[in-house]
Structures are given as structure tokens and as C-alpha cells.
Structure 1
Amino acid sequence: MHWIDPDSLPEVAGILERFVLNPHGEVDGFVMKAKQSAVLVHTPPHMDRELTRHVSPGDKISVRGVRPRGAKLLAAVSVTTAGGREIIDEGPDHDREHPKVKHEPMSVQDRVELSLFGPKGELRGALLSDGTVLRIGPREAGHFAALLARGAKVAARGDGLQTKHGRVIHAREIGPDPERLKPLKKPKPKDRKPKHGHDEDAHAA
């Protein structure tokens, strides 16, 4: 159960526009339209089943949550449907595991619609204009923040999934266009050959 009482938090109402996916294909947030502006809402993956069972794009909803510093994000503690059903973050089951899915190589080239953040405000990727969710680890994302900003042109290659809620790509390479992709993680240096030492001298003796 979340340690914050939802009733103590301000309520933001709007229309759910689309779900946001994590690299495992689970819903871990959504975009809703509130007062003519898009609001990014983060929800923990263990709320996936309840959310997708009771709300759909186009539904009126309200969210109670907290806003981390330095990010345009609402980290939800509870989501209430138009019918009054309250979906509360009760915390994950101890034995909960990510779903087993098969990723495929995928690539994308598009414009950034929204930057995506984790619950503490850490940059985690971008939602692109075609609806693709581009995911990047928070350590790597900081180095490519300009490419993940709203309006930026970005291209990426990585491991992808196509689900009923949309497409998600966990990027392995990223750049401003397909011709200038850079790997997100530097390759590990190859093992160096041992320097000449006593062992080699002993074999030579």
C-alpha cells in the first residue's frame, strides 16, 4: 500500500488519451488531456491489470498524485474512473514477475511528442508522434536529453514489442537520424593480454 493517503492529494481531472508502456510491454502510465494540455501520469506496472480493465482511451478520469521536482509529471497514487471506481496503488505482490515476452529488432524515426519520466522525475525516454514509446535507461537518457525533448527529431534502433496498447522500443542506439546513431552503452573493453611478468619468465626458463 502506498504510504501517502490519496485523499490528502489534489485531484486532476481529464480525458485519458493513450497508455504508456515499459520495455516489458506493461502499462506504466498514460497521457491525459486536462485543461487543453497534455499531462503525463506515471503508474507503477503492478497497476496495469486494474487500469486496463476499468479505463480506456477516451474515458473521463481523475488522478491524485505527487509532482516530482524538475519534471512535467504526475506520479499517481490513485486513479478514479468516471463511474466512481477508485484504483489505488496498493503496492506489488511479493512474487510478482514481469510478463514473459518476445522482443524483436525494431527501428523508428519520428518527432518527440512528450518526454517520459520515472516516478522520481528521472528522464526515461520519449513518446513519439506516431505513438511509439521509446525507452532508455535513466543513466543513458541524461546524455541524450536533447534528442528526447518535445519537438526533437530522433531515430533509434533496439528491442521492440507490439502490444494491443501500442508499440514500445527499448533503444540500443539513438541519434538525430538513422545515419548518425550512437550506441547507448559503450562496449566493454576487451581483456588485455597479460604483461610480461614472472609467470612468463618462469615458462621461458
Structure 2
Amino acid sequence: MHWIDPACLPETRGKVVLFLLNPHGDADGFILQHADGTQQQVHFPPHLGKLIARHIAPGDTVRIRGVKPRGADLIAAISLTSRQGIEIVDEGPRPHEHGPKHEHGHGHEHDGEPMDVQGEVVMPLYGPKGELRGALLEDGTSLRMPPHAAAELVAYLTPGAHVQAWGRGVRNRVGCTVDVHDIAELVDEEAGSEA
């Protein structure tokens, strides 16, 4: 979104809780905790992921200027300012960043490994235009899927749902994500007897 002047956008402050990864293992957002304890997804383009991870870490307080799509609790970041005052602005991808990185000949890091995860959904996750793209589990794992699949699976991506998901995943020092192929709701019989 290099055509938008970040100075004209409202500023949001908060603490980075954890980074979100796309299915290629690149950071493309984080969960921001506001002073009142509420949390919100912040999305940024993956071409900024390495730079952001170099200057911003979980626990850091940051300032964000971005746009909020209708119907989604999300900020699509145009600029981020680190705790040390370093401003990172989305100027759009550089020409070389469209190259081989996105082709399939790049090995295991893009294909992921088969994963089977389960847990409670704590929040839905959105794409930069507010389209539902998955959910965040309580352990920090993000489930990702195409918007058309997510639209049909809203019940599984709602906070409080207990789900099991299968797909190809990436786990690295930044976080864990699963590109979901199948998902099921867990009906936990033991939950009732433990209460």
C-alpha cells in the first residue's frame, strides 16, 4: 500500500503478543494487545516480515498506522514504529521480491510438513481486506485457509470452538502455522465431567 501516506492514518499503540505466519513460514502479521487487555490482529505484507522481525519482538510496545477494513477486527499496517523509534513503512515489494521466492522449486520451507493440531479457537484471522482466512488457537498456532473455504467453515473459526485440523504446516522460531486441508470440531466428552 505504498500509495497511502501513513501520516494521515490514525495511530494505534499496543504490545506485540505473538507473530503470525503465512503458509510459507514468513511473518505476515501479529497479535496486538491494547492497554485495556483486548487483542487485535495486525496484518503486514510478507515482504516486510524479516525487517519487522529484526526490529520488533513479542513483548515490545509498538505504534501502528494502517487501515481497518469493514467488518473485521484488523489493522492492515502501512507503517510500524518499533520501541526504539525505528519506522518501517510499506513501500510495496521490491522487484526482486516477486522472483523465485514464490515459485515451488524452493524446497521444504514452502511445502511445510504434515501436521495435526488441535485446540480452542481464540480469535478469527483475516486477510488484509477483511476476508476471513482462518483462526488462532490458544497455543499460538494459526490455521490458514483460502477465503472461500473459510466462509464455509465459520463455525469452526469462531472463538470457543474446539477443533482438530490437518494440513501442511511450518514451525519456526517466529511461530507455527498450518495450511488447513481438513478440519473437524472436537466434541470433548471429558470437558463436562471435569466441570
> Where does residue 106 of structure 1 map in the other structure?
115
By relative contact order (CA 8 Å, sep 6+), the higher-ranking structure is: 2
Equivalent position of 2:77 in the other structure? 76
Describe the SS at the equivalent of 1:83: coil
Q: 2:192: which partner in 1?
A: none
CA RMSD of aligned residues (A): 1.6
Q: TM-score, normalised by structure 2?
A: 0.88
Distance in 2, Cα, partners of 1:150 & 1:2: 33
Q: Count residues in correspondence.
A: 179
SS at match of 1:25: coil
Once the two structures are aligned, what percentage of the paired residues are identical?
47
- Alignment partner, residue 190 of structure 1: none
1:148 is matched with 157
1:25-75 deviation line (CA, Å, top 9, x unaligned): 000000011122101100000001110000100111010000000101000
Q: Is the 8 A contact 2:23 2:112 kept in 1?
A: no
**Runs (4+) off by over 4 Å:** none
- 1:172 matches 2:172: no
Contact 2:20–2:176 (8 Å) recurs in 1: no
Please state how far the C-alpha of 1:175 moved relative to its aligned partner: 1.3
Partner of residue 56, structure 1: 57
Q: What is the letter of the counterpart of residue 147 of structure 1?
A: Y
Matched, 1:38 2:39: yes
Larger Rg: 1
The runs of 5 or more residues in structure 1 that have no matched partner are 179-205
Give me the whole-angstrom Cα distance separating, in 1, the residues matched to 2:185 and 2:70: 28
Deviation (angstroms), 1:151? 1.5
What stretches of structure 2 of length at least 5 have no aligned partner?
A: 188-195
Tell me the distance in 1 between the aligned counterparts of 2:147 and 2:127: 8
Match of 2:7, SS state, is helix
